[in-house]
């Protein structure tokens, strides 16, 4: 039985590194246009879960479907799926030897086989979308963290992905730079992008997420809309976690 409404289905994903069980059976379905935020203590498998979705980490068991096509066990076809699954990393991972615009266009040229002219136009368009068009000819080392992260978002978006994965996109940034990156992400939410976001930004999660998943010990312990998580007494563990956060951030 497949449910066509879901753009992404994750079924019982397990992953262990040696004896360390990082994911102990995670299942979740995501609808088109939804934003799902993953929160929870460090080391509970949030990032590993994201990396399993585009197979940067190969899960030990479980299945992942994108538009009802199986991503797990895709073999060389994984490169096709990865074009549809954009990813943004905590440390940006911009290509250090390429200017901002070259960073965005390189995969268009090498993977999508666009013509140089077409690729440059597309790259400039995406840079404009994240407010970085004026920095197109600058190298990563010349950009602030927030600027670098916006370029890396443009790089992922240039592939016209169907979903976007954000792995703690603002954890390496100070509050000022965090804000400029979150602005870009909010715009994506409004534009209807399907997004899975691992974050510690509770304000962002509460304001834009359709669903918040609280993860602990390699599992999704509690999930619901921001309102449910905050008001429903059922979600005790999550509230305690958020509470701890608030305590320290005040």
Partner 1 sequence: MALSILIDWFPYLFSGIVLTLGLVASALIIGVGIGLPMALGQVYGSLAIRTLISIYVWFFRGLPVLVLLFLFYFGIFPALKLDLPAFYVGAVVLGLWGAAYQSQVFRGAIQSISEGQMTAARSLGMSRFQAIKSIILPQAMRIALPGWSNQYPEILTESSICYAIGVAELLTRSSQIVSQTYVTMPIYMACAIIFILLSYAGTSGIHFIEKKIAIPGFGPGEA
| By the rule CB under 8 A, 58 interacts with partner 1 | no
- Distance (Å, whole) CA 13 – CA 82: 18
Q: How far is the CB of 87 from partner 1 (least distance, A)?
A: 4
**Restricting to residues 156-175, which ones interact with partner 1 according to CB under 8 A?**
156, 159
By CB under 8 A, tell whether 87 contacts partner 1. Answer: yes
Shortest Cβ 38–partner 1 spacing (Å): 18
Q: In 92-185, at which residue ranges do the beta strands (DSSP E only) sit? A: 163-167
Q: Which stretch binds partner 1 (CB under 8 A): 89-97, 175-183, 193-201, 203-211?
A: 89-97
Residue 209 token pair:
């997420």
The site that binds partner 1 (CB under 8 A) totals a number of residues, namely 29
Name the residue with tokens 């268009």. Answer: 108
What values do phi and psi take at 54, rounded to 5?
-100, 15
What does the buried/exposed string (b/e) look like for 156-185 if buried means 16 or more CB atoms within 10 Å of the residue's CB? bbbbebbbbbbbbbbebbeeebbebbbebb
Closest CA to 209 of 221, 217, 198: 198
For position 91 contacting partner 1 by CB under 8 A, the verdict is: yes
Please tell me the distance from the alpha carbon of residue 199 to that of residue 40, in angstroms, as a whole number. 9
Q: Does 56 bind partner 1 (CB under 8 A)?
A: yes
Residue 30 tokens, joined: 């995501």
Q: Which of 14, 25, 121, 139 binds partner 1 (CB under 8 A)?
A: 139
Q: Does 235 bind partner 1 (CB under 8 A)?
A: no
Q: Which of 9, 15, 46, 82 binds partner 1 (CB under 8 A)?
A: 82
Please choose, out of 106-114, 175-183, 220-228, 242-250, the segment that lies near partner 1 by the rule CB under 8 A.
Answer: 106-114
Kindly state the tokens that stand for 245.
Answer: 């956060």
Distance of closest approach, residue 15 Cβ to partner 1, in angstroms:
16
Binding of residue 204 to partner 1 (CB under 8 A): no
Residue 31, H or E segment: strand 20-31
Q: Which is nearer to partner 1, 81 or 204 (CB)?
A: 81
Neighbours of 10 (CB within 10 A): 24
Report in angstroms how near the CB of residue 96 gets to partner 1 at its nearest.
5
> Is 95 an interacting residue with respect to partner 1 (CB under 8 A)?
yes
CB of 53 to partner 1, least distance (A): 11
Best CA proximity match to 119, nearest among 105, 103, 98? 105
Residues that bind partner 1 (CB under 8 A): 54, 56, 76, 79-80, 82-83, 85-87, 89, 91, 93-97, 106-107, 110-111, 139-142, 152, 155-156, 159
């Amino acid at each position: 039985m497949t449910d066509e409404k879901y753009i992404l289905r994750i079924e019982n994903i397990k992953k262990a590194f040696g004896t360390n069980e990082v994911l102990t059976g995670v299942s979740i379905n995501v609808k088109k246009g939804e934003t799902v935020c993953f929160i929870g203590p460090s080391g509970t498998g949030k990032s590993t879960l994201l990396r399993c979705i585009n197979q940067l980490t190969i899960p030990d068991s479980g299945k992942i479907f994108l538009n009802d096509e199986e991503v797990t066990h895709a073999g060389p076809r994984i490169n096709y799926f990865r074009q549809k699954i954009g990813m943004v990393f905590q440390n940006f991972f911009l290509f250090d030897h390429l200017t901002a615009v070259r960073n965005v266009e390189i995969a268009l040229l090498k993977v999508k086989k666009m013509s140089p002219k077409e690729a440059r136009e597309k790259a400039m368009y995406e840079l404009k979308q994240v407010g970085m068009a004026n920095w197109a000819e600058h190298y990563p080392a010349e950009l602030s963290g927030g600027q670098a992260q916006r370029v890396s978002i443009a790089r992922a978006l240039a592939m016209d992905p169907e979903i976007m994965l954000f792995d703690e996109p603002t954890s390496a940034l100070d509050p000022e730079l965090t804000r400029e990156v979150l602005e870009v992400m909010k715009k994506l939410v409004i534009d209807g992008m399907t997004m899975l976001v691992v974050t510690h930004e509770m304000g962002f999660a509460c304001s834009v997420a359709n669903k918040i998943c609280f993860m602990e010990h390699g599992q999704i312990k509690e999930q619901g809309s921001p309102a449910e998580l905050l008001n429903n007494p059922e979600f005790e563990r999550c509230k305690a976690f958020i509470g701890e956060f608030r305590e320290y951030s005040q």
